[in-house]
Amino acid sequence: MERARIKRLGKKCLVAFATISLFYSCKDEPKEVISEEIAIVEPEETIEFGFNLDDYVVKRDTIQKGDSFGQILERNNIGYPDIFQIAEVAKDTFDIRKLQVGKPYTLLCTKGDSLEKPRCFIYQPNKEEYVVINFQDSIHAYTSKKPITFVEKEVAGVITSNISEALDNQNVSVRLAYKLADEIYPWTIDFRRLQKGDRFKVIYTDKYIDDSIYAGVADVKAAYFEHNNEPFYAFQFETDSLTGITDYFNEEAKNLRRAFLQAPVKFSRISSRYNLKRRIAYYGNKIRPHRGTDFAAPIGTPILATANGTVIESTRRGGNGKFVKIRHNATYQTQYLHMKAQNVKKGDFVKQGDVIGWIGMTGNTGGPHVCYRFWKNGKEVDPFKQKLPEAEPISDSLKAEYLEFIKPLKGQLDNIQYKAEPLEDIIIDTNLIS
């Protein structure tokens, strides 16, 4: 009875920490102590940008068209004399005139004050970096970065339509497709012509800000692509520890890069191939040789130099429209026609992948594209039928180290399982079951 009464009383009381002791005695029995403890859980502090946000009234917004640093502070009860002083101190760290429309900012304001005056202005030019202009005690400004976490992941898949769809079906960022197509395999696999049944495996790292904000694919450590039943391994390896230069090599230590990119435009489609016997209805179905390869893409799409070289022409002429021509060495030259505008001039040295202009419709053209022409020993040829030179191989001094380095990675790749295909429905004839 006594226990039940105390339990009823306990239900009517709210306590943060309690010890209830019950003493009862029976003849020839010792006293028994029953204790119940209820512990309180302290709420976690909210820390961001190095500040405890619980100490402030936090106001978040984005830079609007016409906003300035002074206007933002004035709207929040900071006078112009103070604004001028804050701006003068901060200018050596951050140019407050460079606030970009749409970028987020945070104001940390006084708590328990009806004016809620700002004590700190925090601007985020991108997801990782932020600028702090602190004026709650003395005025000081600095830039910093949010903590970054890298998480290694694996993915494997089978192509049914394209690489982007295969990754999207597994909730993997399409950015991984761009890395595979543009950074690792652009010299060896034409991602515009993948075949149904092609397969891939990738070991990569995803980047997270503050452990929760996804910031994209950071790196690809190793990959395997089976295209037209031909295997293509790729392993990232640092070839220069002083500069941190890395490249991708296959399982035999051969560089995957080539001296030339396969295409001057990323993720475009070929609308017309090199064809010396092409007939055009517009010209009475007469043979009009096409000595280039047309890559269709929207107007304004960047056009890339397919290899290192020197610009020998950047001009406009007849049906070619605006174009750029590059000499790569004594053997090879390339030309890029119908540009909207050029980004280089005669005499400029360009590197593979540099933007040399933008897709347009200048000259004789029925739609936005770049006509890519390729010369070998002074003769225009089809670049897709040439055995193009490879990039520099891995040095002999590093080859043994490389082959040892990739052993565990290759083993890891080989052990990744492809996502199981759904089993086809099996129809059972119940008449056969006795």
Q: What is the DSSP track for 183-234?
A: IISTTT--GGG--TT-EEEEEEEEEEETTTEEEEEEEEEEEEEEETTEEEEE
**Mode of pairing for the β-strands spanning 332-342 and 321-327:** antiparallel
pLDDT score recorded for residue 433: 39
Residue 402 lies in a domain: no
Percent of the chain whose predicted confidence (pLDDT) is above 90: 49
Residue 262 lies in a domain: no
Amino acid 57 reads V
pLDDT score recorded for residue 193: 81
- What are the angstrom distances between the C-alpha of 178 and each of 163, 164, 196, 328? 9, 9, 19, 26
286/154: higher pLDDT: 154
| DSSP, res 49 | T
Residues 173, 118, single domain; the answer is: no
Domain boundary among 127, 145, 163: 145
> pLDDT category, 287, cuts 50, 70, 90?
low
Residues 88, 128, single domain; the answer is: yes
Residues 208, 125, single domain; the answer is: no
Q: Is the pLDDT of residue 239 over 90?
A: no
Residues 373, 288, single domain; the answer is: yes
For residue 223, what is the domain's CATH number? 3.10.450.350
Residue 55 lies in a domain: yes
Q: pLDDT averaged over the chain?
A: 83
Tell which residue, 389, 394, 413, has the closest CA to residue 252: 394
Mean per-residue pLDDT, 317-321: 91
> pLDDT category, 243, cuts 50, 70, 90?
low
For residue 371, what is the domain's CATH number? 2.70.70.10
CA dist., res. 226 & res. 418, Å (int): 12
Residues 273, 367, single domain; the answer is: yes
Residues 274, 381, single domain; the answer is: yes
Are 189 and 232 in contact by the 8 Å Cβ rule? The answer is yes
> pLDDT category, 6, cuts 50, 70, 90?
very low
Q: Is the pLDDT of residue 429 over 60?
A: no
pLDDT score recorded for residue 192: 78
Overall pTM surpassing 0.75 (yes/no) = no
Residues 52, 19, single domain; the answer is: no
389/208: higher pLDDT: 208
Residues 278, 370, single domain; the answer is: yes
Strands, E assignment, 344-422: 349-350, 355-359, 369-376, 379-381
pLDDT score recorded for residue 51: 92
Residues 276, 236, single domain; the answer is: no
Mean per-residue pLDDT, 400-409: 94
Residue 424 lies in a domain: no
Considering just the CA atoms, what is the radius of gyration of the chain in Å?
33
Which residues touch 428 (CB under 8 Å, ≥6 apart)? none
Residues 192, 282, single domain; the answer is: no
Residue 415 lies in a domain: no
Q: Is the pLDDT of residue 426 over 80?
A: no
Encode pLDDT of 331-374 as tens digits.
899 999 999 999 999 999 998 889 999 999 999 888 899 999 99
Residue 414 lies in a domain: no
Give the structural domain span for 69: 47-145
Number of domains forming the structure of the chain:
4
Find the range with the poorest average confidence among 250-254, 257-261, 313-317, 328-332.
Answer: 257-261
CA dist., res. 320 & res. 2, Å (int): 102
Encode pLDDT of 58-117 as tens digits.
999 999 999 999 999 999 999 989 999 999 998 888 888 889 999 999 999 998 888 899
